[in-house]
Structure 1
Amino acid sequence: MTFLNQLTELAPAELAARLDEFAVSARDDRDGSGYLDAQRALYLLSVARWQPAWESIVPSADETDVVVASLRLSRSWHQAETDRVLGAMELPSIGEFGEWLDDRCRAHASGPQHPLFDFLENQATEEQLREFVFQETPFDVHFGDLVAALIPGVYGAAKLELAHNFWDEMGNGDIARTHRQLRLDMMSAVGIDTDAHVSGLDRFWVEELELANMYLGSSTDRTLMAQGLGMLLATEHVVPGRIDRQIKGWLRVGYGLEQLEYLTEHVTVDVAHAAGWLNEVIKPTLAAHPECLPDIVAGVERRLAGSLRVCDVALKTLTSVA
């Protein structure tokens, strides 16, 4: 029985009780078996709430007890992770933030210099490249919704930047070129089911679910919004170089650029978004609300650390079956 089936068979009160059990594992037992179930539950319930009630993959996701328990689970995990990253670092000043960000992202071990990307570019088989794309699905297919969820309540230049980012996600009005559709088209071209973000749940590495849950939680829980801004800022800074190396790997095994438009689109558009996000969203937010600095930094740090965990497990797993 799949984890999704297990979850949907529970009555709302039973599901809420299970989520409270998962909250303990998410906070206190990162290496325990309950931690993976906690991440799977967080992810499924977040996805279920993106959907209209009549299409929800977890029919009880919007029941009051389940909503409250899932919020407790989410906040328990996010707080533990925030304490972990902030407890080990010295914060930059607001004036130093831009320079700190550039240095941090450029030098971080999760960047395109990670051995994973050398492997994907020069050695990986088609099947290994396919598995990496599959594993990145939980985050990638929801990116447009993540951006959209941040827009309410933000105004001025920041709202325009968010809207511009979202409009790019929407293919600038061309349905066929929306980034989600380009992602689904690429998945079809390389042999991945287009419903893999749900049907493939039990195959996803816990590190990939963590990464998706960072964004799903911080984009919808307004108490975590500043972290969400930091996460997206880091994403726009580090993604282009990593994607360029993946493209070279796919070309090496015989695919053409027309099948890789999702990837080629992000090599250029994310560079522009990185500058806009910093100058139009982050800096004005810090100027008006300096108290947001710790959470924005935590978002950057959590994104980089989470990405490094993905890179490490990807290299270890993919090369073990080489």
Structure 2
Amino acid sequence: MSTTPELHSDIDLRELVISLLAGDEDVATVNARAADMGYRTEIRAATEELAHAAFVRGDRAALHTAHWVLGDIYNWCFSLPSIDQVDSLLGEILDDIRSVLENAMMADLRARIDQRELASAPQDPEEFLPWYRNFISNHKASNHPFYRDFLENRASIEDIRFYLAQETSLDPRFDDILSLLTVGTDGSEKMELVTNLWDELGNGNTNDVHTSVFAKTLADAGVSKEFIDTNIMLESVICGNVSAALALSRRHCYKAFGYFGVTEYLTPRRFRSYMVGCKRLGMPKSAYVYHDQHIQIDARHGPSWFKNILLPAISREPRCAVDIALGTVMRLETSTWYLDALQAKLEPAG
């Protein structure tokens, strides 16, 4: 017989997750809930209802809730547990919710991609890399007008602040993502990922750790946590959630290789446009020192990622080329949706 409170189909899933993550219940109670299959089945049913509304029916409010719930769970996944929770089975409950929403998100994303684009991806490694570069370069995300026009020529300081708030969905956890991608690799793949990670960690200099430099950039620009929470766009959360899903789930590792390869490749040109805008506005160097570092470093990492990660992976297993291509398209498409929404928000038509 269940000893936990009854759930209902109209349960507020986000409130439940917020309560669980806040540690409102002691470990014994949480563990009893994790052991109660009836309780977990009902949570899963409520999650499936939310996923259907968000990703099948296209209910915008449900989509917001689904991504905010996923975002809250991913934040937990990328955090250390409190000492009071070290023996908690909370992760088992959260995994029930995460798996349903994550699978629905990925299925929806895949369904929105033109499969003909993937069919053209060659499985020969020497042919794949030119295809990969050309595919990225010919996509709208490669030279999006938000960067090449709006940021460079017309963005205000307030626009810059708003933009920086959106970038928090990925940048603060990129070092951890690289750490996760390293698991199971060897040879040139592991060495490239570790070299990339070492650069993210400031080559051992605490003051140059990229997450710390980015945090200082936010602070100097007046981008507080409250400002981020108030202004973060759904499309930004989606980008962060897809990034987290690909990094955390081992079954998505080849998609992640393609996805984050795009990130490395496009970062220098995007950040260069950001710096042009900051200098036009007369902003202090602290507003763009983080971006200046990445222009120099990622100019090396982009080509090296192709040569030392993608090429060996496809040489070892040619069939993974399709998954790498899928991750590539996922990054380009979600980035385009994000930048389209960002530009529409900051520079509405008319």
- TM-score, length-scaled by structure 2: 0.83
Aligned length: 317
- Identify if the C-alpha distance between structure 1 residues 300 and 64 changes in structure 2 by more than 3 Å, giving closer, same or farther: same
Partner of 2:254: 226
Within 5 A, what are the aligned runs for 1:120-269?
A: 120-193=151-224, 195=225, 200-201=228-229, 203-269=231-297
Paired residue type of 1:93:
P
Q: Using a 3 Å threshold, how does the CA distance of structure 1 residues 139 and 279 change in structure 2: closer, same or farther?
A: same
Q: Is the 8 A contact 2:78 2:173 kept in 1?
A: no
Change (3 A) 1:219 1:261: same
Does 1:68 find its partner at 2:68? no
Instruction: Give the equivalent residue in structure 2 for 1:92.
Output: 121
**Matched residue, 2:18:** 8
Residue 49 (structure 1) aligns with: 77
Larger displacement relative to structure 2 (252-261 or 152-161): 252-261
| Offset, 1:16 | 4.6
| In structure 2, distance between residues paired with 1:61 and 1:43 | 20
1:227 shift after superposition: 0.7
| Residue aligning to 1:284 | 312
Larger Rg: 2
8 Å contact 2:54–2:60 — kept in the other structure?
Answer: no
The CA deviation at 1:28 is 1.2
In structure 1, stretches of 5+ residues that fail to align are none
Task: Quickly say closer, same or farther: Cα 1:173–1:187, change in 2 above 3 A.
Answer: same
SS in 2 for 1:136: helix
Do structure 1's residue 304 and structure 2's residue 335 form an aligned pair? no
> Quick one: which amino acid aligns to residue 73 of structure 1?
L
> % of aligned pairs identical?
23
Opposite residue 150 of structure 1, the aligned amino acid is L
Would you say the 8 A contact 2:214–2:290 is kept in 1? yes
Confirm whether residue 102 of structure 1 aligns to residue 133 of structure 2. yes
**How many angstroms apart in 2 are the aligned matches of 1:55 and 1:48?**
14
> Do the aligned partners of residues 305 and 223 (structure 1) sit closer, same or farther apart at CA in structure 2, a change above 3 Å counting?
same
* 1:180 to partner: Cα distance: 0.4
CA contact (8 A) 1:116 1:314 kept: no
